[in-house]
Homo-oligomer: A and B are copies of this chain.
C-alpha cells in the first residue's frame, strides 16, 4: 500500500545535498533536525566578518561535527559543494541584500527554501524583485519557496478547514508568539521595553513594512481561491500589567512598559469574504504559550485551535517536511498554495528528494 515499498533507505541515502545559508538560531535548529534525520549537509554560509566563520556547523549546532566549516564565499562554496537545495534563514523581507543571496543560490542551480516571511507570498508586497527572482529561477530550472510555521498553522490547516464550508463571510485567526523564542533582534523590533508614548511615536513615525500577517493572508487567499482586493493593518501595543522578565533582552520589563504588540490585518476579497489575522508577538508571562485559533462565519460556522504550539520548532520542522515538495516543484517562485498538501515526510522521502524526477534532473544539471 505504501509508495515506499521496494526502496531501501541505504539504496538512495545521501542523494539530497543541503546547504545552510544563515547559521543563526533557526539555521542551527534546522541543522540539528536535518542531522538527526540523516540528511547530508554539504555547506554552511554566513556573512563576511561573522564570528562563526571557520567553525564546524555541527559543533555550532550542538551536535557531532559535520565536517562542514562556515564560510562567507557563497559562490565558491555553492560551486564546490553542489547542494540540491539551500535553506535560507537570514532576514524577513525581499530587500536588495536578500535578493542578492537568493540570486547567488539560483545562479548556482540550487533550489531555495526559506523561512523569510515575505517570501511566503512575495508578489503583492515585493512585486518587481519577486518577478525578477521568479524569472531568474525559471532560467536556471530551480524553485524558490518560502515556508515555515505560517504554511501549516496560518494557511493550510485553515484552507482544509474551510473546505468544509458551504458559505464563508469571514475567516478570522488569532495567534500569539513569544518574542523570547527568537532572540534580541526581534525583541527590539517588537518594541519590547519601550514606553507607550515611545511606542506611539514609533508607530506614527515609522514606515511599517508589510506584516507577517498580511503576507499570510495573501497566501491564504490564494490557497482558498479568492482574489485579494484591499489590505489594511491596525497595530496596538501590549502593555505589561506586572514586571515581566524578557529572556531575549536579558532584562525585566516594568509594569506599564510595552511587551510587544498586536497587528490586526484584514484582507478584503473580491468575493466579499474578509480574511483577518490578529497576531500578537510579545514577551510571555509564566503560563502563557503559543496558540493559533481560527473561526469562520458563514454556513456552518467553523473552528480550529492549536494549543501549546512551539512556533520556533514548527517553523523549522515545516520547512524540512517541505523540502521534497520544493525539489519536485516546477521552476520559479512557487508559493505554498501551489505545492502538494503538507505532510509528514518519513526519512526515506526526505533523503531521496521527494516526488518526482525533477530533482534528479536538477542535480544532473548542476553536476
Instruction: Spell out A's residues near B (CB within 8 Å).
Output: 1-5, 33, 36-37, 123, 149, 152-153, 156-157, 159-166, 168, 222-228, 270-271, 299-310, 313-314, 316-318, 320-321, 340-346, 349
Q: With A166-B317, A303-B308, A305-B305 given, is the CB distance from A159 to B341 under 8 Å?
A: yes
A341 touches which one: B2, B156, B321, B345 (CB < 8 A)? B156
Given contacts A159-B343, A163-B345, A166-B320, 9 further A-B contacts (CB under 8 A): A1-B227, A37-B166, A156-B341, A157-B304, A161-B306, A164-B321, A168-B344, A224-B344, A225-B346
Q: Within the complex, what minimum Cβ distance (angstroms) separates A28 from chain B? A: 15
Q: Could you write out 16 A-B pairs with CB less than 8 Å apart?
A: A2-B226, A2-B227, A152-B161, A157-B160, A157-B304, A160-B341, A162-B344, A163-B341, A163-B342, A163-B345, A166-B320, A224-B343, A300-B317, A303-B308, A304-B305, A305-B305
Point out the residues of chain B lying under 8 angstroms from A165, CB to CB: 317, 321, 344
Q: How far is the CA of A58 from the CA of B299 in the complex (A)?
A: 20
Q: Name the residue of chain B whose CB is nearest to the CB of A221.
A: B1
Point out the residues of chain B lying under 8 angstroms from A349, CB to CB: 225
Point out the residues of chain B lying under 8 angstroms from A4, CB to CB: 225, 227
Which of A156, A161, A224, A228 has the largest count of B CB atoms less than 10 A from its CB? A161
